[in-house]
């Protein structure tokens, strides 16, 4: 709650002022403040996550159908080192092992996704439901619950059944809405007695932009200027339909929640005293998070998207906007279809106004925004090229969500940092620093009044990182992909995260510093274990010559 609203003697006028002020995000103040020692609200849920294609492996086992990622990753030149998720962490065979890791750090929840083609091989429910796929998720859910770990389940983390891509063009086609709804309905029917937190889509921004605009992700289409908008339009409709299905058919009985997980980098104006920069930064965020959140919370696309894409479409001589339009029935059907908002957040950019230099002929999501993205060279960037550590951006984003969408219930569904594959060092001090600072900014945001209920470290394990293959490791646990048993080793950061969980926050400077020191001390023995295992496998088996190939030993 806003501090001024908490005062019971608030005059009515004051209250009105107070409420309207709460709707405006203040772009002009960015006080970073110092580290805050304190704890999270009681019942705050601590978790870690992963997704089906990134971790399960068993890509062609037990009746599973092909997904667009199976097909895409098998094409030469699409993935770093031509790697695939064929076996990845083999999590399909390691439910119990992985749950022991979660227990070890006392996770409250685990976020995973269901592979649609594992339970409906062609994507079309009336064709065939794969009992073995259902059985796998049944067991996973049961084991989690037996160990008092709440499952948070994503229905779609990018692995569309290939048949739906081939037959209909995937998310370019409106028919996905009904097929996805049938799949979701089946999941509610089979698992909804035990699963109470459902996420319809993970990061639809990536699905739309990287899948249908840049083609870096499956299905690899480059439909510039239109493909992403069309895919997003259908995804939003599919999300709304599934929410309504749950609401009308299952909610009364199962009493769960249905949300969506949106990703959003934060966009900070280069110069907070320059109105043009502020507008550009706001555009950046609206074209990113707002693209999906605004229809879901308010019924329609952000006005700025409608204006910019509409104007450019006219300039390009098109009769209608490249941004599709919702009918008024659709708007009211979509509005309010969110019981909680999942936020996936990793990084921040500085933003400044820049008119598209290519002018009228240019036609793309990126140029539609008329802005330039910048980074501060002093920001740490330990892993992925795009991932700079800017903790204060997280607090800004969370506050933005609060002001724009009526302070919804939030679960942070992804936050974390990678390291380069070449780094076999388990003493990941930079990841400790990242988690420490980002989690602290989330705590500050909660103190600002943002309604965050849980946090999901991304990710539990090193795993297949999409087009980057295995070259970027996000895990709290290191996975030795060269060993066919895919053993897991704790990194220092997992010890540190465990302490945050057990203290439900940051008690005081001395203790937090102690955690860091102990975590780093402990990891040197894990380092030795890993090195010894490597030596042993070198002695006993033929090793691939070039690290990092993850072929079986």
Which residue in 544, 395, 419, 421 sits closest to 484, CA to CA?
Answer: 544
Which residue in 373, 353, 241, 358 sits closest to 304, CA to CA?
Answer: 353
To ligand NOJ, the closest distance from the beta carbon of 180 in angstroms equals 18
Q: Which positions from 218 through 277 interact with ligand NOJ, judged by CB under 6 A? A: 263
Q: Which positions from 449 through 488 interact with ligand NOJ, judged by CB under 6 A? A: 465, 474
Q: Which residue's CB is nearer to ligand NOJ, number 268 or number 468?
A: 468
Which residue in 494, 453, 455, 504 sits closest to 474, CA to CA?
Answer: 494
To ligand NOJ, the closest distance from the beta carbon of 344 in angstroms equals 5
Residue for token digits 């997003």? 232
Round the CA-based radius of gyration of the chain to a whole number and report it: 23
To ligand NOJ, the closest distance from the beta carbon of 265 in angstroms equals 11
Contact, 341 vs 401, CB < 8 A?
yes
Q: Which positions from 160 through 219 interact with ligand NOJ, judged by CB under 6 A? A: 202-203
To ligand NOJ, the closest distance from the beta carbon of 220 in angstroms equals 17
- Check 414, 419, 465, 472 and give the catalytic one: 414
3-state DSSP assignment of residue 355: coil
Which residue in 257, 342, 293, 396 sits closest to 47, CA to CA?
Answer: 342
To ligand NOJ, the closest distance from the beta carbon of 202 in angstroms equals 5
Q: Which residue's CB is nearer to ligand NOJ, number 321 or number 459?
A: 459
Q: Where are the beta strands (DSSP E) in 371-463?
A: 371-374, 410-415, 419-420, 452-458
Decide if 414 is catalytic.
yes
**Cα separation, 370 vs 57, whole angstroms:** 41
Q: Which positions from 507 through 536 interact with ligand NOJ, judged by CB under 6 A? A: none
To ligand NOJ, the closest distance from the beta carbon of 343 in angstroms equals 11
Strand 257-263 and strand 197-202: pairing? parallel
Q: Which residue's CB is nearer to ligand NOJ, number 202 or number 226?
A: 202
Tell the burial category of 346 from Cβ atoms under 10 Å away from its Cβ (0-12, 13-18, 19+): buried
Q: Which residue's CB is nearer to ligand NOJ, number 268 or number 465?
A: 465
Structure tokens at 483: 């060993």
Cα-based angle 471, 475, 476 (whole degrees, multiple of 5): 150
Phi–psi pair at 468, nearest 5 degrees? -85, 0
Q: Which residue's CB is nearer to ligand NOJ, number 79 or number 309?
A: 79
| 344 lines the binding site for ligand NOJ (CB under 6 A) | yes
CB neighbour list of residue 242: distance below 8 Å, 6 or more residues apart = 155, 180, 181, 184, 185, 200, 258
**Cα separation, 223 vs 97, whole angstroms:** 42
Q: Which residue's CB is nearer to ligand NOJ, number 282 or number 465?
A: 465
Binds ligand NOJ by CB under 6 A, chosen from 213, 414, 419, 480? 414
Residue for token digits 């110092």? 34
Q: Which positions from 59 through 88 interact with ligand NOJ, judged by CB under 6 A? A: none
Please count the residues of this chain forming the interface with ligand NOJ, following the rule CB under 6 A. 9
To ligand NOJ, the closest distance from the beta carbon of 263 in angstroms equals 6
Q: Which residue's CB is nearer to ligand NOJ, number 127 or number 385?
A: 385
CA distances from 308 to 231, 280, 322, 349, 356 (A): 19, 12, 10, 21, 12
Which residue in 178, 174, 283 sits closest to 232, CA to CA?
Answer: 174
Three-state SS sequence of 39-91: ECCCCCEEEEECCHHHHCCCCCCCCCCCEHHHHHHCCCCCCHHHCCCCCCCCH
Q: Where are the beta strands (DSSP E) in 385-481?
A: 410-415, 419-420, 452-458, 472-473, 477-479
To ligand NOJ, the closest distance from the beta carbon of 456 in angstroms equals 11
To ligand NOJ, the closest distance from the beta carbon of 416 in angstroms equals 8
Structure tokens at 403: 């002001």
To ligand NOJ, the closest distance from the beta carbon of 385 in angstroms equals 11
Q: Which residue's CB is nearer to ligand NOJ, number 171 or number 474?
A: 474
Q: Which residue's CB is nearer to ligand NOJ, number 383 or number 548?
A: 383
Q: Which positions from 107 through 166 interact with ligand NOJ, judged by CB under 6 A? A: none
Contact, 295 vs 301, CB < 8 A?
yes
HSE-CB at 241 with a 13 A cutoff on CA atoms is 18
Query: What track of x and - describes contact with ligand NOJ for positions 33 through 52 (by CB under 6 A)?
Result: ------------------x-
Q: Which long-range contacts (CB under 8 A, 24 or more apart) does 326-333 make?
A: 326/233, 326/295, 326/299, 326/300, 326/301, 330/237, 331/295, 331/299, 331/300, 332/299, 333/240, 333/244
Residue nearest to ligand NOJ as judged by C-beta position: 203
Cα-based angle 232, 455, 202 (whole degrees, multiple of 5): 20
Q: Give helix 492-503 / helix 429-448 axis angle, nearest 10°.
A: 30
To ligand NOJ, the closest distance from the beta carbon of 89 in angstroms equals 13
Residues in the site for ligand NOJ, rule: CB under 6 A?
Answer: 51, 54, 202-203, 263, 344, 414, 465, 474
Residues catalogued as catalytic: 414
């Amino acid at each position: 709650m806003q501090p001024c609203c908490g005062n019971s003697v608030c005059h009515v006028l004051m209250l009105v002022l107070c409420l309207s002020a709460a709707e405006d995000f203040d772009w002009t103040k960015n006080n970073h403040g110092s580290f805050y020692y304190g704890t999270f609200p009681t019942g705050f849920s601590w978790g870690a996550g992963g997704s089906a294609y990134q971790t399960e492996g068993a890509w062609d086992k037990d009746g599973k159908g092909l997904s667009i990622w199976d097909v895409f990753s098998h094409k030469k030149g699409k993935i770093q080192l031509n790697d695939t998720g064929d076996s990845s962490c083999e999590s399909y065979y390691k439910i119990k092992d992985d749950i022991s890791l979660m227990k070890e750090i006392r996770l409250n929840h685990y976020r995973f996704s269901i592979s649609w083609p594992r339970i409906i091989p062609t994507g079309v429910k009336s064709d065939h439901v794969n009992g073995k796929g259902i059985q796998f998720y049944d067991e996973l859910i049961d084991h989690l619950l037996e160990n008092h770990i709440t499952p948070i389940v994503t229905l779609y983390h990018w692995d569309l059944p290939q048949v739906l891509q081939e037959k209909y063009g995937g998310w370019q086609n409106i028919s996905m809405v009904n097929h996805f709804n049938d799949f979701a309905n089946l999941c509610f029917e089979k698992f909804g007695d035990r699963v109470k937190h459902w996420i319809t889509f993970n990061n639809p921004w990536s699905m739309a932009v990287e899948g249908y605009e840049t083609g870096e992700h499956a299905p690899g289409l480059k439909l510039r200027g239109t493909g992403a908008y069309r895919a997003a339009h259908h995804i939003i409709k599919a999300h709304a339909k599934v929410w309504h299905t749950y609401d009308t058919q299952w909610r009364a009985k199962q009493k769960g929640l249905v949300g969506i997980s949106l990703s959003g980098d934060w966009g900070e104006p280069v110069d907070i005293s320059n109105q043009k920069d502020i507008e550009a930064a706001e555009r950046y965020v609206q074209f990113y998070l707002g693209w999906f959140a605004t229809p879901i919370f308010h019924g329609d696309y952000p006005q700025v998207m409608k204006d910019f894409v509409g104007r450019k479409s006219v300039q390009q001589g098109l009769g209608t906007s490249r941004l599709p339009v919702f009918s008024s029935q659709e708007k009211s059907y979509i509005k309010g279809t969110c019981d909680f908002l999942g936020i996936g957040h990793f990084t921040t950019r500085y933003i400044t106004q820049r008119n598209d230099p290519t002018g009228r002929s240019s036609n793309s999501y990126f140029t539609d925004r008329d802005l330039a993205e910048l980074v501060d060279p002093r920001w740490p960037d330990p892993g992925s090229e795009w991932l700079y550590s800017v903790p204060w951006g997280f607090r800004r984003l969370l506050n933005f969500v609060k002001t724009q969408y009526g302070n919804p219930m939030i679960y942070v569904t992804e936050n974390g940092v990678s390291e380069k594959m070449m780094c076999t060092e388990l003493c990941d001090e930079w990841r400790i620093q990242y988690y420490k600072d980002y989690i602290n900014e989330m705590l500050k945001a909660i103190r600002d009044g943002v309604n965050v209920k849980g946090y999901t470290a991304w990710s539990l394990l090193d795993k297949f990182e999409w087009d980057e293959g295995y070259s970027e490791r996000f895990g709290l646990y290191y996975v030795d992909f060269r060993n066919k048993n895919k053993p897991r080793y704790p990194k220092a950061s997992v010890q540190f995260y465990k302490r945050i969980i057990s203290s439900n926050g940051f008690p005081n400077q001395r203790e937090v510093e102690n955690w860091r020191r102990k975590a780093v001390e402990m990891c040197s023995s894990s380092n030795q274990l890993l090195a010894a295992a490597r030596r042993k496998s070198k002695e006993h088996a033929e090793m691939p010559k070039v690290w990092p190939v993850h072929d079986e030993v």
